[in-house]
Structure 1
Amino acid sequence: MARAAKKKPVLELIEFSRARDIPFNRIHLSNDNVREVDADVGLDELEFDVERREDLILGINVRAILDADGNETGDFETPAGGRRHRVIARLVAKGRFPEDGLVPCIVKKANAKTSAVDDSLAENTFRQALHPLDQFRAFKRMVDGGMKIEEVASAYFTTDRYVEQRLVLAKVSPKLHAVYAANGMTLKMLEAFTAHPDHERQEQVWEAVQQTHRNEPWQIRDMLTETTVPSSDKRARFVGLDAYLAAGGPVLPRYLFDDDEDGWLEDVKLLDRMVAEKLKAAADEVAAEGWKWLAADLELPYGYDHDLRGIVGTFAELSAKERRQREKLRDEQERLETEYAGHEELPDHIDRRLGEIEKQLEAFERRPVVFDPAEIAFAGAFVTVDEDGELIVDRGWVRPEDEPVETVEAGDEPEADAEAETDADSEAEPEVQRTVITVGGEADEPEEDEKAVRPLPERLVIELSAHRTIALRHAVGNNPRIAMTALLHKLVHDAFKRQTHGAGLHVSVREIYCGEQGVDLKNTPYAKAVDERHENWKARLPADSDALWDWLEALDDDSRMALLAHCVAFGVNALYERPNPLSASGISEAGLQRRLSEADRLAIVTGLDMAEAGFRPTVANYFGRVTKQRILEAVAEACGASTANLFELQKKDKLGLAAAAEERLANTGWLPEPLRLMVEEPAIEPDADGAEADVALPDFLAGEEETDAESVIPAFLKRRDTEDAADPDADPAPLVAAE
């Protein structure tokens, strides 16, 4: 038997309320409007927008007012649209709209099922905020349609800068817009992608971000601009952005989300050439002063004046007019400081004026130094650029080979002259030139098997030991008691080891210069501290050498000890250098062992920790110069094996792995092995004839008697590899930071 078809329910049709125009003077505010708190907030902006448009975007929702018998009175109340009603009232008061002017309204049906309160609450509740991406695109369409940026900013009560930022956000790759719309990235991340206008480059970086998880905005911006030079770079400041642009150099658009950066210079080769040309021109100008030699470089190494003698010049005399001007500035400075001494905060114009006075007075102090022309003839100067892009000229340095010598009369001591000439000839043997191929300042070595553990490059070990040497110099210079102990240790060693040749009492401290060093050494906290302390003492020393003894005699005990510590510290030597297995020249293995052991002792007694001193392993000074396996081992030591395994899975390229390791290990205190304490070794005992017996170097410096870097330090980490093989589940050994 067939079933009867089931009937669908009949739905009641919805009938919308009708719209009509009603004179404004017949519309009244309703007591049922739910917006009571801050009801007038934003009315100025809304009034401006209505005046600008000369129209309402949205009509007013009204209900008929009934009399006691339930009949319509002809007046209406507005439970939804109170803010628009208040704005129209303002326009009526200003004469911009007639009192009986017609207002578009939605008139609620007499048989409406919802109350006035319900309507008011619904209008203020069921709103969906505009997605920021829609705003970006809307601003762009408005500007593309002919509106000026200033007009858009004025219409929406914001700044020109805000509109410009939204316009550049609207120009980011549509693929990244889709990711942002789906909440796949934050607004800050999207802002970072505006650093480069090329959509393909933006999408490449986004893919890299997903692979490496380097998703901080600053990291994204760095990846986008890694082949460019920021305008804040010393090279860009030295050349000048206008000069670079005039030479045809392209610049990425100004980054609108950071006031510190005005763009990136794309043609690095052009910039470097302009830097070299400007530096050469400045060097030529200085050379015209008559110096014997001149060294110009964008980066001078730390301790560039090592083994050079500085000649003393005198400041150029001020003219009578300049002296009067200086005194006038000093009087004004003193008057202003006295007048505003009781103020917690100086007024802006006074603060600016005091800053101007200070700069002008500094200019008097930095006036040119006049040198004796006779000394200029055998001295030289350095020309470089500081971090602010300012040209720096350091004049008046004499090289040892340029020191003037007294003329020996004919017939005087011919034997000595002949002997000296013979010695000079014997010592002037040509150095063996070894070809070193470098790429980006580093040795160009083929990448090897990721799992292979190679010893650290010898150049890297040398550079790291330079960091330790300067840090130890700072630590010893800050501790007079230890400096005195070190000096006494040296004297006792000399006195009781039968080293009696020479003068009766001969004590000297030779400054140890780090010939091989990374570019970051001079900017480390410990190097800057040593330089600052040296300059402070230098400023206090008398210019006349004959007065030095009396000046030292007059020092109090604390100052004498502090000066002693500073001077002794210059003899600290923790440098690694390749030992000569034949001991014909250079340092022997036993000598290197003794040097590094004594450096350990100084590190222990001064409490030196290289991490606390300011050393941080970076791509430039470590991670970018070792194998991927070593990077992973460093991560494992600092953060655990699980983190290292995660890194190995996520980082496919060495550069990304090195950068991630730098970021992750930045504040962990992890240090490369050359910056840690050496394992304590037995004391060096002399053999029967008084000579010191050979002592094996520590594992990470030991090697076969070969001449290549790999053989000199072949077991830097093989010791740990052997231990790990014996117990693969063992936790990494704790690090000892003595650096």
Structure 2
Amino acid sequence: MTTKANTAPVIENGATVFIPLNKLKKHPKNARKTPHSEASIEAKAASIAAKGILQNLVVEPELDGEGGPTGFYLVSIGEGRRLAQLLRAKRKEIKKTEPIRCVIDTENDPAEISLDENVTREDLHPADQFERFRELAEDRGWGAEEIAARFGVTAHVVKQRLRLGAVSPKLMQVYRDGGLTLDQLMAFAITEDHARQEQVYENLSYNKEPRIIRHDLMKSNVAATDRRAIFVGAEAYAEAGGVIVRDLFTEDRGGFYEDAALLDRLVIDKLERIAAEVQAEGWKWVSVHIDYPHAHGLRRAYPQSVELSEEDAAAYDAAQAEYDRLSSECESAEELPDDVDQRFGELEAEIERIDALRHAYDADEIGRGGAFVVLNHDGTARIERGFIRAEDEKPEPEDAATEIDGVRVNDDGEIVEDGESGDHAFVQNAEDEEAEEDGKPLSDLLIRDLTAHRTLGLRLALGEQPDMALIAVTHALAAQTFYRGVEATCLEIRPASAHLGGHADGIEDTAAGKALADRHAGWAADMPRDVADLWAFIAGLDQASMMALFAHCASLTVSAVKQPWERKPRAHETADRLATALGLEMTAHWIPDARTYLGRVTKAHILAAVREAVSDEAADRIAAMKKQPMAEAAEQLLAGTGWLPPLMRTPEPAWLTDIRSAEAEDADRLSVAAE
């Protein structure tokens, strides 16, 4: 009987043959036991599809148990290429019987030659790879997508390699020679400006950390997270001819805006468009600024409560009723239908629109006043209305004399002679007898005497009625806080409120500054227009509202600013006690970054902060840096740690300190007992 082995054609060793893909198998002696990665197979499949198989597979015939050929061939070298072709066959790009060019090798040990192929091969240096990719783009005009398709990688990877290939040839050679790491080279690739790359490289100290390189390269650019960039937007900036530099190797959160001057101009332009809409409301002037203008010294008016028109009141009630009905009907629904969700949005907008009509500026104040349109801390427009310039103030009315019980007095209660009410002529009598001779009922001396006794009575009575004292103090604070230049209280309480903008630049542009301004504006809008109505307004507040107003007015008087020429140790001790009582957590309002703190203290202070908040090792890593890079490195290290300078910390309450002391004593006793 004739066997298959005896009838199969004999193929000489070293011969090149075409073998159907479905007749090829992995050689069991192949040195690679770890499977090829999917990415590797994808890349080979793309390369073969574009350029064919550039290197022959090396195979040997498979033999059965009796030593006869089975008709299959075992792949000693080229298993990755075989898998790539199988992937293409699975995708219907080729047939399963696609002929594959192979070289027959029946003499060498398959394990040795498969190992030799991978051990003796030297990979292309990354620098050569980057430059060759760049040449493909420049010489053949291929884009990232086409190159990616031909090499089986993503377009993003191609863009990265093209960017690396565009690094200064001088720095590329330094990389080839081992003077730069790949991470450092990627940092230089953030810009394609060779001169700038080389300049930064020459000015680097021994510390060549990638983030230092990126910072130096982007020093004059504006991060996309900056409020100006957020306000303008990438699209508008690009349309104006601005260039956004992107870092393809790290998360750059939107890149870096290259032209800061252009960005500022676009911010002003956009603010001025908003200002035009504000001025259309009737304001005499509107002023545009990127930063809130501190110390403007202008009086400010606020909108006052007004009654809604019958039409608006009816519309409000209808919108609120429909909103309540829909809310009740959809209370158990897990997800709202699109039309219902849209209707909720419309009703909310209508309710908000009508609510805004409940407060309005006096028409006269609009005609004489103005507004500031500034850039807010979060990249939105901030509109502050109601400022009155000194030259636009109403002229003060002349004092008019009023006759009371036959005596002529001016608005301040001062007695005036006939014909001299406008000259504030005072009649001063030292004795009661003289007053009687002049026909006046009481002398100034007696009036002072009597009112002193009445003041004493008021003090005694007020001290016995805490609820009324709260109303009186709140009235005194509110009268002087919200009504300029009006003596409307008999309590000699003078709430002084230091302007913090003169102590800390940009403080009013912070989130905390805006929150305080909004709270003040909310109360100001509720104040009656005439200070004479203030007492009734405050007396009519519920307890919670009165306490809130009292707290707001009191809060404006807080001053814990330390001045070099002042010596107020007790005041600052009180500020610490107040912070402890309030549970003040300054990390919610302020962080120690390079601009606000780290760049303004000594290197010793920076290192001490890092040691305390992070570790000695972290401080040692940045110890040799120059001041500014050290401050920026420390900013990143301190981020999220909650560290604050001692001046900003809130002292622990006494009860917590006692607990810590007790715990420490217990630990000491346990340690002694253990010994």
Counterparts of 1:403-418 in structure 2, within 5 Å, are 404=394, 407-408=397-398, 418=423
Q: Secondary structure of 2:372's match? A: strand
Partner residue of 1:725? none
Offset at residue 299 of structure 1 (A): 0.9
Q: Is the 8 A contact 2:20 2:98 kept in 1?
A: yes
Q: Is the 8 A contact 1:380 1:397 kept in 2?
A: yes
Q: Secondary structure of 1:377's match? A: helix
Offset at residue 227 of structure 1 (A): 1.5
- Which of these residues, 149, 156, 175, is aligned with residue 154 of structure 1? 149
Distance 1:302-1:566 versus aligned 2 partners, 3 A rule: farther
Q: Deviations over 1:536-569 (max 9, x none)?
A: 767888999859856765534x665454333312
CA distance in 1, matches of 2:156, 2:13: 44
Q: Is the 8 A contact 1:255 1:262 kept in 2?
A: yes
**Higher helix fraction (1 or 2):** 2
Give the stretch that moved more between structures: 58-67 or 535-544: 535-544
Distance 1:566-1:48 versus aligned 2 partners, 3 A rule: same
- Which of these residues, 625, 632, 652, is aligned with residue 604 of structure 2? 632
Q: Secondary structure of 1:166's match? A: helix
Distance 1:84-1:371 versus aligned 2 partners, 3 A rule: same
Distance 1:303-1:95 versus aligned 2 partners, 3 A rule: closer
Partner residue of 2:462? none
- Which of these residues, 305, 309, 316, is aligned with residue 301 of structure 2? 309
Offset at residue 198 of structure 1 (A): 1.4
Q: Is the 8 A contact 1:31 1:79 kept in 2?
A: yes
CA distance in 2, matches of 1:74, 1:21: 13
Distance 1:73-1:400 versus aligned 2 partners, 3 A rule: closer
Distance 1:71-1:382 versus aligned 2 partners, 3 A rule: closer
Q: Secondary structure of 1:103's match? A: strand
Determine whether 1:21 maps to 2:7. no
Q: Deviations over 1:550-601 (max 9, x none)?
A: 6765534x6654543333121112234576xxxxxxxxx66x5664454355
Determine whether 1:300 maps to 2:292. yes
Which amino acid is the alignment partner of residue 143 of structure 1?
A
Report the aligned-residue RMSD: 5.7
Partner residue of 1:172? 167
Which amino acid is the alignment partner of residue 382 of structure 1?
F
Offset at residue 151 of structure 1 (A): 1.4
Which amino acid is the alignment partner of residue 624 of structure 2?
Q
- Which of these residues, 226, 243, 253, is aligned with residue 251 of structure 1? 243
Determine whether 1:53 maps to 2:50. yes
Q: Deviations over 1:615-649 (max 9, x none)?
A: 444443455556xxx44356458749x99997998
CA distance in 1, matches of 2:507, 2:282: 32
Distance 1:226-1:293 versus aligned 2 partners, 3 A rule: same
Partner residue of 2:595? 620
Determine whether 1:650 maps to 2:624. yes
Which amino acid is the alignment partner of residue 75 of structure 2?
T
Offset at residue 173 of structure 1 (A): 2.6
Partner residue of 2:672? none
Partner residue of 1:338? 330
Report how many aligned residue pairs link the two structures.
Answer: 559
- Which of these residues, 210, 218, 240, is aligned with residue 225 of structure 1? 218
- Which of these residues, 178, 185, 193, is aligned with residue 188 of structure 2? 193
Counterparts of 1:683-702 in structure 2, within 5 Å, are none
Which amino acid is the alignment partner of residue 374 of structure 1?
D
CA distance in 1, matches of 2:65, 2:647: 95
- Which of these residues, 501, 518, 528, is aligned with residue 504 of structure 2? 518
Counterparts of 1:400-479 in structure 2, within 5 Å, are 404=394, 407-408=397-398, 418=423
Partner residue of 2:561? 575
Q: Is the 8 A contact 2:145 2:155 kept in 1?
A: yes
Q: Is the 8 A contact 1:26 1:76 kept in 2?
A: no
Q: Is the 8 A contact 1:632 1:644 kept in 2?
A: no
Q: Deviations over 1:111-169 (max 9, x none)?
A: 43x2x455556657777666654543343232223223221222344443332233122
Q: Deviations over 1:315-337 (max 9, x none)?
A: 998999x969x959976995899
CA distance in 2, matches of 1:199, 1:305: 50
Distance 1:19-1:137 versus aligned 2 partners, 3 A rule: farther
Q: Deviations over 1:471-500 (max 9, x none)?
A: xxxxxxxxxxxxx9xx99x99xxxxxxxxx
- Which of these residues, 26, 29, 32, is aligned with residue 28 of structure 2? 32
Offset at residue 69 of structure 1 (A): 7.4
Which amino acid is the alignment partner of residue 379 of structure 1?
G
Which amino acid is the alignment partner of residue 61 of structure 1?
V
Distance 1:599-1:136 versus aligned 2 partners, 3 A rule: same
Which amino acid is the alignment partner of residue 21 of structure 1?
V
Partner residue of 1:141? 135
Partner residue of 2:480? none
Give the stretch that moved more between structures: 373-382 or 38-47: 38-47
CA distance in 2, matches of 1:619, 1:604: 27
Larger Rg over CA atoms? 2
Distance 1:639-1:90 versus aligned 2 partners, 3 A rule: closer
- Which of these residues, 367, 370, 379, is aligned with residue 369 of structure 2? 379
CA distance in 2, matches of 1:187, 1:316: 68
CA distance in 1, matches of 2:590, 2:116: 62
Q: Is the 8 A contact 2:238 2:244 kept in 1?
A: no
Determine whether 1:555 maps to 2:542. yes
Q: Deviations over 1:434-471 (max 9, x none)?
A: xxxxxxxxxxxxxxxxxxxxxxxxxxxxxxxxxxxxxx
Partner residue of 1:451? none
Q: Secondary structure of 1:145's match? A: helix
Distance 1:305-1:603 versus aligned 2 partners, 3 A rule: farther
Q: Is the 8 A contact 1:79 1:117 kept in 2?
A: yes
Q: Secondary structure of 1:227's match? A: coil
Q: Secondary structure of 2:49's match? A: helix
Partner residue of 2:446? none
Q: Secondary structure of 1:394's match? A: strand
Partner residue of 2:283? 291
Which amino acid is the alignment partner of residue 368 of structure 2?
F
Q: Deviations over 1:296-346 (max 9, x none)?
A: 3211157979863313276998999x969x959976995899398436xx9
Determine whether 1:671 maps to 2:645. yes
CA distance in 1, matches of 2:181, 2:302: 57
Q: Secondary structure of 2:334's match? A: coil
Q: Deviations over 1:694-730 (max 9, x none)?
A: xxxxxxxxxxxxxxxxxxxxxxxxxxxxxxxxxxxxx
Q: Secondary structure of 2:368's match? A: coil
Partner residue of 1:106? 103
Q: Is the 8 A contact 2:62 2:69 kept in 1?
A: yes
Distance 1:566-1:614 versus aligned 2 partners, 3 A rule: same
Distance 1:298-1:244 versus aligned 2 partners, 3 A rule: same
Q: Secondary structure of 1:18's match? A: coil
Q: Secondary structure of 1:650's match? A: coil
Q: Is the 8 A contact 1:254 1:264 kept in 2?
A: no
Structure 1: gaps spanning 5 or more residues: 1-15, 421-483, 492-500, 580-588, 678-739
Offset at residue 89 of structure 1 (A): 6.3
Q: Is the 8 A contact 1:65 1:75 kept in 2?
A: yes
Offset at residue 374 of structure 1 (A): 2.1
Distance 1:33-1:226 versus aligned 2 partners, 3 A rule: same
Counterparts of 1:25-104 in structure 2, within 5 Å, are 27-29=23-25, 32=28, 34=30, 45=42, 48-49=45-46, 52-53=49-50, 55-65=52-62, 76-82=73-79, 84-85=81-82, 103-104=100-101
Which amino acid is the alignment partner of residue 189 of structure 2?
T
Distance 1:560-1:183 versus aligned 2 partners, 3 A rule: farther
Q: Deviations over 1:264-318 (max 9, x none)?
A: 132x445445544665565466446543454432111579798633132769989
CA distance in 2, matches of 1:359, 1:564: 32
TM-score by structure 1 length? 0.58
